[in-house]
Chain A
Amino acid sequence: MPAPKPWRKFANWNFFRNDDRLLLIAIALVVGACSGLAALALNRSLAVVLHWLQPYRTQVWAFVLPGIGAALSSLFLDKIVNEGAGHGVPEVVYAVSRYGGLMRFRSSYSRLVSSFLTIGSGGSAGPEAPVVMSGAAIGSNIAKYFSLNDRQRITLVGCGAAGAIASIFNAPIAGMVFAIEVILGEWSALNIIPIAMAAVSGTEVSRILRGNQIAFEHRLFDIHLIDIAASVGLAIAAALASVLLTRTLRATHRLAGRLPVPLALRAAAGGCAVGLLGLWLPVVLGEGYHAIDEMIGGHFTAGLLIVAAAVLAKILATGLTLGSGGSGGIFAPSLVIGSLVGLTYHRLLVWAWPGADWVNEGCFALLGMAGLISGMLQAPLTGIFLIVEITGGYETILPLIIVSTIATTMSHYLEPASFYLKDLVERGQLLRPGTDRRVLADMSVRELLETDCIPVSPEMRLRDFIEVLKRSRRNYFPVNDPKTGVFLGIVYLDDIRPYLFDPLLYDAVVVGQIMHSDVAVASPDDELNDILRRMDAGRLFSMPVVSDGIFLGMVSKATLLDRYRRELMVQTCWQQGA
């Protein structure tokens, strides 16, 4: 028997196995620190390369830079690490909902490199989704190393995501809330504690390495009731902007998919287009943290029309970068667009009611960010906590809550699923814990199969069939071809009840005459969700399961209900305070 490696052994100690909370907290600290480091590495290298490229930005030829970066990033993903494009968060949620959080090791670095190439060269995308993916993959692979089970692994995936967000924004609460609200979708004490620890260690790593600084400093805001009232309008504007961004992203993605050129060229074309936009409005380039800083500080001087144009330009640039195959997330662009929207809204207000005593424009920029993030992610808590933490502005909490919640509701009204989860919802793969879909997805036909049916042959006389009937505990009898074993049909007891007591028919009728040959059958690989839908449509209570023409057993609603209940009890244990 292969001895477990000694350094993995502590995970096998009974003390940890019986109550894994301490074990999870210990590993969560490590996961948080590692994913925090990964996030920091991307963040710092982006800052360096953006600073380094800054002098060349004004040159006319600089517009090709984002093109080159996007092409390289696309080549890297496609040829070197063999991964698809995209920002990665749906992949994390997919792995969590379907495969117990199993992720490839290469995911822990691939997006870091590719998004570094895209964003560093000036592409309009954010580094957050890539660090979330790599943090999650780090968590998953550490769990794999210790041979943890699915539940523990999922928690560690959440820890990785929390550590990454916490580290990149120096915002522990936002990291925690993001991991739970967006990635896991399950609030339970078993999850929250390790994730909180990971957020702490991720933040601490970031604080040690780059100091405890708030991401976006700002002046004190003096908020009046009128501003709070005005924030309702801002929320609607932000929701509209987020819907526009979502649709632009999808449209560019679709259009780019139709271009008959290699992936890298496609990405290059998109990047160059972004570069051209950037020549005119430099604010659209890169992840845009610097621009946010200016806007919140109130140093962004451009006029109303320019700012309004910048909103559209940034949306377009983000669409071009990501839709054409660049790599990165929409988190940072959303922040930029949000603050631009806030600024536009503020300037409109001032223009319309110049006499009113409006709060500083930086405050509206900040509220706009919260609105856009909430609208895109449809996760109001993440929006609220993130903005509070990255700006250190607790005094804005009231309008912040209003903007976040209204923007979430509004955008939910127009786009039923958030940008991160839209793909999954469309594919029917968003399986949040404790939902009907999840319970059904976890169970398989093989687990429900009733195999105690007695097969009969079509040539059997009714007289012999009645003997079989005596021995059976079931009301249905599969009919198989005696030579090939192929399933031909099924005999339902209900249908033949009238003939059973008529001895005259005993020798006159054979099974082949009384069977149903056009029964709806299920395959063992079918999803229970589909099988149930078909049962409901045909008003069936059971269905034969047939694979390659061979009868395997029956699935019935009665067994399904029994097992479904058991599954639900097992899956929702923590909710009962067990």
Chain B
Amino acid sequence: MDLTFSQIAECLSVAEPTLERWIRQGRIPVERVGGECRFNLAVLERWARDHNMHFSLSEVEQKKPPGAIADGLAEAMGRGGVHRDIGGDSINAVLKNAVARLTMLPPPVRDELYDRLVSREQLSSTGIGRGVAIPHPRSPIGGGMPIIATAFLRNPIDFKAVDDQPVFVLFMLISDSIDSHLHLLSRLAFCLRDDDFLAFLRRYPEADALFKRIATFEKRLDDRH
């Protein structure tokens, strides 16, 4: 495999001028073909090991482009879907019924998710006030893209929320990494700070209308950056 100059520099975590100098000074094994420099990966790896240096190719390849985690809220909500008429009169019952609706997840994952959601609720309530709760597992659940499932309850219940108001809607946030978790959480919180949006939620909107509304919020957020 042919690596570019800057990739090699990154693998060794040095600046490009340093790599150039090392080549000039003959400190690093390199093959010169005409004016070009060619690196042999195996030789280079051995050299790095001999010098007690860290050399990792995989890290460079796995590094996501910066746009990757900026996955949209609307997309995640679309994947999670909007579920209505969730029954139950306790936190656990509501959660159990809501998780059961997440048919895009295989049953064992659903069971695990339920356990984790419950244990998170025991730690402290995810009811953030004004009738909204954001149940989520404490650590990311691997596999797949992050999802946010919106679940409207049949009857508002006491969720031990911070303002003691009964909760009527759950946004279940299931993500594969801390980064995307925080990213989505902060975007969701931004929307929920808006009074109009809350009033809009109280009208139990249709999925399409909800996603459209979310998309306009996101546009505003993106414009600010």
Chain B residues 12-37 with CB under 8 Å of chain A are 12-15, 17-18, 21-29, 31-32, 34-35
Q: Please give, as numbers and ranges, the residues of chain B lying within 8 Å of A578 by CB-CB distance.
A: 50-51
CA distance A567 to B15 in the complex (A): 12
CA distance A279 to B58 in the complex (A): 79
Distance in Å: Cβ of A460 to nearest Cβ of chain B: 15
In the complex, which residue of chain B has the Cβ closest to the Cβ of A155?
B26
Whether A1 contacts B17 by the Cβ 8 Å rule is no
Whether A570 contacts B50 by the Cβ 8 Å rule is no
Whether A149 contacts B26 by the Cβ 8 Å rule is yes
Chain A residues 134-190 with CB under 8 Å of chain B are 147-152
Distance in Å: Cβ of A252 to nearest Cβ of chain B: 39
Q: Please give, as numbers and ranges, the residues of chain A lying within 8 Å of B53 by CB-CB distance.
A: 566, 569-570
Whether A569 contacts B24 by the Cβ 8 Å rule is no
Whether A14 contacts B31 by the Cβ 8 Å rule is yes
Counting chain B CB atoms within 10 Å of each CB, the highest count among A443, A562, A566, A571 belongs to A566
Q: Please give, as numbers and ranges, the residues of chain B lying within 8 Å of A567 by CB-CB distance.
A: 18
Distance in Å: Cβ of B148 to nearest Cβ of chain A: 22
Say which residue of A148, A467, A573 sits within 8 Å of B50 (CB atoms): A573
Q: Which of A44-52, A342-350, A378-386, A444-452 contacts B (4 or more CB under 8 A)?
A: A444-452
B178 within 8 A of A: no
Distance in Å: Cβ of A481 to nearest Cβ of chain B: 24
Whether A150 contacts B50 by the Cβ 8 Å rule is no
Q: Please give, as numbers and ranges, the residues of chain A lying within 8 Å of B100 by CB-CB distance.
A: none
Whether A18 contacts B29 by the Cβ 8 Å rule is yes
CA distance A444 to B28 in the complex (A): 18
CA distance A1 to B28 in the complex (A): 25
Whether A149 contacts B25 by the Cβ 8 Å rule is yes
CA distance A121 to B28 in the complex (A): 50
In the complex, which residue of chain B has the Cβ closest to the Cβ of A570?
B27
A563 within 8 A of B: yes
Q: Please give, as numbers and ranges, the residues of chain A lying within 8 Å of B28 by CB-CB distance.
A: 570
The answer to whether residues A471 and B27 also contact, given A2-B34, A563-B14 and a CB cut-off of 8 A, is: no
CA distance A345 to B15 in the complex (A): 61
Whether A566 contacts B15 by the Cβ 8 Å rule is no
Whether A569 contacts B52 by the Cβ 8 Å rule is yes
Chain A residues 454-486 with CB under 8 Å of chain B are 467, 471
Whether A448 contacts B23 by the Cβ 8 Å rule is no
B225 within 8 A of A: yes
Say which residue of B21, B25, B31, B225 sits within 8 Å of A467 (CB atoms): B225
The answer to whether residues A576 and B50 also contact, given A446-B15, A446-B17 and a CB cut-off of 8 A, is: yes
Whether B24 contacts A447 by the Cβ 8 Å rule is no
The answer to whether residues A449 and B15 also contact, given A570-B51, A573-B51 and a CB cut-off of 8 A, is: yes
A100 within 8 A of B: yes
CA distance A405 to B19 in the complex (A): 42
CA distance A18 to B42 in the complex (A): 12
Whether B34 contacts A447 by the Cβ 8 Å rule is no
Say which residue of A12, A14, A152 sits within 8 Å of B26 (CB atoms): A152
Whether B15 contacts A448 by the Cβ 8 Å rule is yes
A442 within 8 A of B: yes
Interface string of B52-64 (1 = CB under 8 A from A): 1100000000000
A17 within 8 A of B: yes
B220 within 8 A of A: no
The answer to whether residues A447 and B17 also contact, given A2-B34, A149-B24 and a CB cut-off of 8 A, is: yes
CA distance A152 to B26 in the complex (A): 7
Whether A150 contacts B34 by the Cβ 8 Å rule is no
Q: Please give, as numbers and ranges, the residues of chain B lying within 8 Å of A100 by CB-CB distance.
A: 24-25
CA distance A147 to B32 in the complex (A): 10
Q: Please give, as numbers and ranges, the residues of chain A lying within 8 Å of B12 by CB-CB distance.
A: 566
B43 within 8 A of A: yes
Chain B residues 90-135 with CB under 8 Å of chain A are none
CA distance A150 to B20 in the complex (A): 12
In the complex, which residue of chain A has the Cβ closest to the Cβ of B21?
A442
Counting chain A CB atoms within 10 Å of each CB, the highest count among B15, B24, B28, B43 belongs to B15
B219 within 8 A of A: no
B193 within 8 A of A: no
Interface string of A327-341 (1 = CB under 8 A from B): 000000000000000
Q: Please give, as numbers and ranges, the residues of chain B lying within 8 Å of A18 by CB-CB distance.
A: 29, 43
In the complex, which residue of chain A has the Cβ closest to the Cβ of B22?
A570
Interface string of B208-225 (1 = CB under 8 A from A): 000000000000000011
Q: Please give, as numbers and ranges, the residues of chain B lying within 8 Å of A562 by CB-CB distance.
A: 13
Counting chain B CB atoms within 10 Å of each CB, the highest count among A149, A467, A569 belongs to A149
Whether A447 contacts B18 by the Cβ 8 Å rule is yes
Whether A12 contacts B17 by the Cβ 8 Å rule is no
Distance in Å: Cβ of B81 to nearest Cβ of chain A: 31
Q: Please give, as numbers and ranges, the residues of chain A lying within 8 Å of B34 by CB-CB distance.
A: 1-2, 4
Counting chain A CB atoms within 10 Å of each CB, the highest count among B12, B18, B22, B225 belongs to B18
The answer to whether residues A471 and B225 also contact, given A1-B34, A563-B14, A578-B50 and a CB cut-off of 8 A, is: yes
Q: Please give, as numbers and ranges, the residues of chain A lying within 8 Å of B51 by CB-CB distance.
A: 569-570, 573, 576, 578
Whether B18 contacts A563 by the Cβ 8 Å rule is yes
Whether A12 contacts B29 by the Cβ 8 Å rule is no
Q: Please give, as numbers and ranges, the residues of chain A lying within 8 Å of B23 by CB-CB distance.
A: 149
The answer to whether residues A17 and B224 also contact, given A150-B24, A576-B50 and a CB cut-off of 8 A, is: no
Q: Please give, as numbers and ranges, the residues of chain B lying within 8 Å of A150 by CB-CB distance.
A: 24-26
Q: Please give, as numbers and ranges, the residues of chain A lying within 8 Å of B14 by CB-CB distance.
A: 447, 563, 566
Q: Please give, as numbers and ranges, the residues of chain A lying within 8 Å of B43 by CB-CB distance.
A: 18
Chain A residues 548-578 with CB under 8 Å of chain B are 562-563, 566-567, 569-571, 573, 576, 578
Q: Please give, as numbers and ranges, the residues of chain A lying within 8 Å of B17 by CB-CB distance.
A: 444, 446-447
CA distance A12 to B29 in the complex (A): 13
Q: Please give, as numbers and ranges, the residues of chain B lying within 8 Å of A566 by CB-CB distance.
A: 12-14, 18, 53
Distance in Å: Cβ of A300 to nearest Cβ of chain B: 50
CA distance A443 to B23 in the complex (A): 14
In the complex, which residue of chain B has the Cβ closest to the Cβ of A444?
B17
Distance in Å: Cβ of B38 to nearest Cβ of chain A: 11
CA distance A147 to B31 in the complex (A): 12
Chain A residues 5-21 with CB under 8 Å of chain B are 12, 14, 17-18
> Lowest 10 A-B CB distances belong to which pairs?
A149-B26, A151-B26, A578-B50, A150-B25, A447-B15, A447-B18, A1-B34, A447-B17, A569-B51, A570-B27
Question: What are 13 of the A-B contact pairs (CB < 8 Å)?
Answer: A17-B31, A100-B25, A149-B26, A150-B25, A446-B15, A446-B17, A562-B13, A566-B18, A569-B51, A569-B52, A569-B53, A570-B51, A576-B52
Which residues of A come within 8 Å of B, CB atoms? Answer: 1-2, 4, 12, 14, 17-18, 100, 147-152, 442-444, 446-449, 467, 471, 562-563, 566-567, 569-571, 573, 576, 578
Extra pairs beyond A4-B34, A570-B22 (11, CB < 8 Å): A17-B32, A149-B25, A150-B26, A151-B25, A447-B17, A447-B18, A563-B14, A566-B18, A573-B50, A576-B51, A578-B51
Which residues of B come within 8 Å of A, CB atoms? Answer: 12-15, 17-18, 21-29, 31-32, 34-35, 43, 50-53, 224-225
